[in-house]
Amino acid sequence: MNQIPAVLDGGTRILIVDDERMNRTLLEVALSRSGYATVTAEDGLTAWELLDATPDAFDVILLDRRMPRMNGMELLTRIRADDRLKYLPVVMQTASTSTEDVVEGIKAGVFYYLAKPLNLQLMLSVVAQAVDERQLLRRLQDDLAKHSIALTLLDTGVFHFRTPEEGNMLAVALAHICPGSRNLMVGLSEIFTNAVEHGNLSIKFQEKSRLLEEQRWSDEIARRLTLPEYAGRRASVTVERQADRVNFIVCDQGEGFEWRDYMDIQPARAFSAHGRGIAMARRMCFDRMEYRGRGNEVVCTVYTPTATATPPTEPPAPTFDGGEFTCDMALARTMQAGLLPSDRTLAELEHGTRLRISGVFHPSTDVGGDIWGVIPLDRHRVAIYLADFSGHGVTAALNTFRLDTLIRHMRADQDKPADYMTRLNREMSRLLPVGHFCAMLYGVVDTRISQFTYAAAAASRPLVMNLSSREVSQGDGKGLPLGISPSAVYEPRSLSFPPGSLLFLYSDALAEARRADDKAIGCPGVARLLPRMVEDGSATDAVSLVEAILHSSGDTARVNDDLTAVCCLRAADG
Amino acid sequence: MKYQITDSNGRRTLAFRGQLTFADRTALDPVISQALAGGVRELDVDLEALDYMDSAGLGMLLTLRDRAGKSGAQVRLAKPRGDVKELLSLACFDTLFAIES
C-alpha cells in the first residue's frame, strides 16, 4: 500500500486515481509543484482500500472514469454511501463527454468534470476550488458546533415569522439546535413555508398547481402578503426542549387543511410539481410529526442523542439525487436567487418611476459571489447596486447573504450613495476576514434632476448611453474595495441621465471574458460595443445586451467568473 | 504563478512572474511564510514580470500585508505594469501599500 505523506497543519492531500502511469505522474508533478501532497492509486479497488483505511487522510480525489478492477463510477458510489467520506469532493476525469455520462456522474455526486486530454491549468483551478469548499465545509461544521453550544442553552423559545424568506432564515438558525440531526434545516424550512403559503395565505393545492404552471407563484405570494386580510397574519414556532427530544410546534392563523392526505406521497400526486413536502419532511427530517386539530398546528419532533432515549424508528436515509449535499446546494441556489429583485418588484418600479430595470445573474458555480438589487426610494428615485465578492463558490456566496442582510437593515442614507457606501464598508470591514473583500457600485437614479449619483469601490466604470446619439459617457469605478479598511471614505460622483438614456452596470467577468483569440473584451471594449448592440433598438435589457456583447466577435467569449449586469432604461418620454 | 525570493543589501525581494489568480491561493501560503522568514523588516514585492492578476490576486496581496504586519515587516509593491497596474489603481491600493513605479 502507498505511504501517506505527512502534511503540515492546514496542508492539503490529494488522492490521484488513474490506471495510466503517465497520467498519474503528470498530475503528481503538477499538483506537487502547486504545493499539494499527493498519493496515487492505479485502480478503484486500491483507492478504496486506501480510503477505507484512512478516511480522513484526503481533501480531494482526482478520479479517472475508466479503470480496471473497479471503475470511477463504482468507487464514487461507494464514497457517497460512506458516512465518513460522503462530503469528500471528487473531481472526475473522463474521455467521454456524452451528456448521459455527465448527468450520471453529477447525480452520483461528482464535484466537477474534467475532459481528457487534461488542461492542467484548469485542473489546478478546479482542485483549488474543491479544496476551498472542503475546508469551508469543515469550518462550517466547526461553526455549527460553536453556535449550537449557545442554542443548547435554549429551553423554550417562541419565534414569529410572516414571509417565506423569514421562515427560511429561521430554519437555518434553528437547525443549529440539534447538531447532527439530518436535514433538519430542510425539514423546518418546508414546514415554515407551508405555514405561510397554505396556512396564513390560504393557497389551496389545486391553486398552487395552477399558479406554478402559469409561473405566477411567487408574485401571488407577494400579492397576498400585502392584502389586508392576510397582512397581519403571523406564524409562530415554539421550541421546547425535553430530556430526550426537541419539539418544534408550528402554528399559523389559517383555516387548516386535510393534513391526513399529505402525510404520505399519494400516487395521484406522484407526478405533480408539488405536494410532497410534508411527506418528505416527515420521512426524512423529523423523528415524529403530528398535526393537531384542523391542521394549523403541527408538532415536529427530533430525538436528541442521549443514552436513555431510543427513537421508535430510525428515519430512512435521504434519497435526494446525489445525496444531501446536492440538496443543500440546490436549496442554497434557490435562496440566493431569492435575494434578487423579483419580476413583480421590477414591474411595480417601472409603473411608479417609468424606469425599466433588468438584470443578469450567472454564477460560475452552483452559487455565486455577485449580487445586485434595487431600492425604490420615491416616485423619482431608485437606488441600484451591484456587488462582486472576491473568490467564487460557497465562500463568496455566503458573503452575498451577509451583504443582503446588511442592506435590508441599514435604511438611513440610502439616498446618499457616498455616505451609504462609507457605512456599508464600515460594517463589511467588521464582518469579512482578511483577504476577502467586495467590489461594489451603489448609485441613485433621480429622474427629477436627470442624474445618476453614485459611489464606487473598485467597480467597473458605470456607462450611460444616449439612445439617440449613441454616445457613451463613462463614469469612474475607482475606490478601495469594501471590507478592507473600516476608515475608508467614499466620494459622490455623478453622470448625467436625461430622458432617452440607458445605464449599464456590470461585474468585471464581462470585461474579462475571453474571445476565441484569447483576448479579453476589456472595459473599453464593453463601452465600445454597447452602442453597437442597441443599434436596432431591440436590445435594451440586461440579458440581451450581455448575450450580444459576449457574441460580438462571432464566437461566444468564455466567461470564467460570476457574471452580473444591470440595465436601467429611461424612455425618451420618461 | 512563479516566484523568486532574493536578498540583497538587507532588503528581501519577492518577485512574481506570470499570473496571480484564484488558482494560486493555496500555493501562496508557503511562499508568504518563506518570504517573511528570518525576521525580515522590509519586503519588496516585485511585480514587473507579473502579466495578470485577478481579484483573488488582490486578496493575496492583502493577506501578505496582514501577515507581514504581524511579523513587523513593511511591504512595498514595486514596478507594477499594464493590467496589474490598472487593477491596483482601480482598487486604490496605493492607500494601503507603498507602490514604487
CA distance A358 to chain B (A): 26
Share of chain B above pLDDT 70, in %: 100
Superfamily of domain A339-570: PPM-type phosphatase domain (3.60.40.10)
Q: Which domain holds residue B95?
A: 2-100
CA distance A507 to A458: 10
Best-predicted range by mean pLDDT among A94-108, A212-226, A394-408, B33-47?
B33-47
Higher-confidence position of B27 and A140? B27
Nearest residue of B to residue A128, measured between CA atoms: B23
pLDDT for the residue numbered A479? 96
The SS3 assignment for A233 reads coil
Closest by Cα among A29, A22, A85, A76 to A53: A85
Query: Of B23, B58, B90, which has the smallest distance from its Cβ to A390's Cβ?
Result: B58
pLDDT at A90 over 50: yes
pLDDT for the residue numbered A435? 87
Contacts of A488 in chain B (CB under 8 A): 95
Higher-confidence position of A520 and A366? A520
Higher-confidence position of B74 and A68? B74
Chain B residues interacting with chain A (CB cutoff of 8 angstroms): 21-27, 29-30, 54-56, 58-60, 62-63, 66, 89-93, 95-96
pLDDT for the residue numbered A185? 73
Question: A250-261 burial, b for 16+ CB within 10 Å, e for fewer?
Answer: bbbebeebebee
Contacts of A128 in chain B (CB under 8 A): 22-26
Q: How confident is the model at residue A290 (pLDDT cuts 50, 70, 90)?
A: confident
Q: What is the mean pLDDT of residues B45-62?
A: 92
CA distance A247 to A266: 27
pLDDT for the residue numbered B63? 92
Distance (Å) of CA A65 to CA A17, A97, A123, B61: 9, 11, 15, 38
Q: How many domains are contained in chain B?
A: 1
The listed CATH number (3.40.50.620, 3.40.50.150, 3.40.50.2300, 3.30.365.10) that belongs to domain A13-143: 3.40.50.2300
The angle that helices A277-284 and A184-194 make with each other, rounded to 10 degrees, is 150
Q: What is the mean pLDDT of residues A159-186?
A: 75
* Residue A227: Cβ within 10 Å count: 9
pLDDT at A307 over 70: no
Share of chain A above pLDDT 70, in %: 81
pLDDT, one tens digit per residue, over A464-512 is 999 989 999 999 999 999 999 999 999 999 999 999 999 999 999 999 8
Contacts of B53 in chain A (CB under 8 A): none
DSSP-derived secondary structure letter, A315: P
The SS3 assignment for A20 reads coil
pLDDT at B92 over 50: yes
pLDDT, one tens digit per residue, over A314-360 is 333 333 333 344 445 666 777 788 789 988 889 989 999 999 999 99
Say which CATH class A152-333 falls into: alpha beta
Q: What is the mean pLDDT of residues A170-174?
A: 76
The SS3 assignment for B76 reads strand
pLDDT at A524 over 70: yes
Residues of chain A with CATH 3.40.50.2300: 13-143
pLDDT for the residue numbered A426? 94
Q: What is the mean pLDDT of residues A445-454?
A: 97
> For the sheet containing A472-474, what is the strand order?
A355-362, A563-570, A501-506, A463-466, A472-474
Question: CATH number of the domain that B31 lies in?
Answer: 3.30.750.24
Q: Do A437 and B90 lie within an 8 Å CB cutoff?
A: no
Nearest residue of B to residue A11, measured between CA atoms: B26
CA distance A455 to chain B (A): 13
Question: Which strand (E) or helix (H) includes residue A130?
Answer: helix A120-151
pLDDT for the residue numbered A272? 40
Q: What is the mean pLDDT of residues A30-39?
A: 87
The SS3 assignment for A514 reads strand
CA distance B71 to chain A (A): 15
* Residue A83: Cβ within 10 Å count: 8
Share of chain B above pLDDT 90, in %: 71
Chain A residues interacting with chain B (CB cutoff of 8 angstroms): 10, 12, 34-36, 121, 124-125, 128-129, 131-132, 388, 390-392, 434-437, 439, 458, 477-481, 484-485, 488, 508, 512, 561
Q: What is the mean pLDDT of residues B1-29?
A: 89
Distance (Å) of CA A251 to CA A170, A468, A539, B12: 14, 57, 48, 66
SS (H, E, C) A317-372: CCCCCCHHHHHHHHHHHHHHHCCCCCHHHHHHHHHHHCEEEEEEEECCCCCCCEEE
pLDDT for the residue numbered A8? 45
Q: Which grid cell is A388?
A: 462582486
Closest by Cα among A252, A250, A305, A254 to A281: A250
pLDDT for the residue numbered A312? 40
Helices (H) and strands (E) in chain A, counts: 18, 20
Closest by Cα among A214, A209, A217 to A276: A209
Residues of chain A with CATH 3.60.40.10: 339-570
Contact A372, A359 (CB under 8 A): yes
pLDDT at A136 over 70: no
Least confident stretch, A129-138, A389-398, A440-449: A129-138
Nearest residue of B to residue A392, measured between CA atoms: B22
CA distance B99 to chain A (A): 15
Contact A502, A467 (CB under 8 A): yes
Higher-confidence position of A77 and A272? A77
Higher-confidence position of A246 and A421? A421
Q: What is the mean pLDDT of residues B89-101?
A: 93
pLDDT at B51 over 90: yes
Nearest residue of A to residue B95, measured between CA atoms: A480
pLDDT for the residue numbered A101? 67
pLDDT at A18 over 70: yes
Contacts of B97 in chain A (CB under 8 A): none
pLDDT, one tens digit per residue, over A44-66 is 999 999 999 888 889 899 999 88
Supply the mean pLDDT for chain A: 81
pLDDT at A428 over 80: yes
Q: What is the mean pLDDT of residues A91-114?
A: 69
pLDDT, one tens digit per residue, over A247-258 is 999 999 988 877
Query: Of B21, B22, B92, which has the smallest distance from its Cβ to A479's Cβ?
Result: B92
pLDDT for the residue numbered A314? 36
pLDDT, one tens digit per residue, over A370-426 is 999 999 999 999 999 999 998 777 778 888 888 988 898 888 899 999 999 999 999
Higher-confidence position of A459 and A240? A459
Contact A326, A521 (CB under 8 A): no
pLDDT for the residue numbered A116? 72
A485, burial (CB in 10 Å: exposed 0-12, middle 13-18, buried 19+)? middle
Q: Do A479 and B30 lie within an 8 Å CB cutoff?
A: no
Q: Is B39 left (phi over 0), alpha (psi -120 to 50) or beta?
A: left
Q: Which grid cell is B80?
A: 507594477
Q: How confident is the model at residue A152 (pLDDT cuts 50, 70, 90)?
A: low
pLDDT for the residue numbered A184? 77
CA distance A385 to A421: 10
pLDDT for the residue numbered A269? 43
CA distance A63 to A47: 10
pLDDT at A275 over 80: no
* Residue A77: Cβ within 10 Å count: 13
Q: Do A439 and B91 lie within an 8 Å CB cutoff?
A: yes
Query: Of B56, B63, B66, which has the smallest distance from its Cβ to A391's Cβ?
Result: B56
Contact A288, A300 (CB under 8 A): yes
The β-bridge partners of B50 are B18
pLDDT at A267 over 50: no
pLDDT at A215 over 80: no
Which DSSP string do the residues of B41-65 spell out, in sequence order? SEEEEEEEEEEEE-HHHHHHHHHHH
Q: What number of C-beta contacts closer than 8 Å exist between A and B?
A: 74
Tell me the residue length of chain A.
Answer: 574
Query: Of A434, A477, A561, which has the smallest distance from its Cβ to B63's Cβ?
Result: A434
Question: Which strand (E) or helix (H) includes residue B20?
Answer: strand B11-20
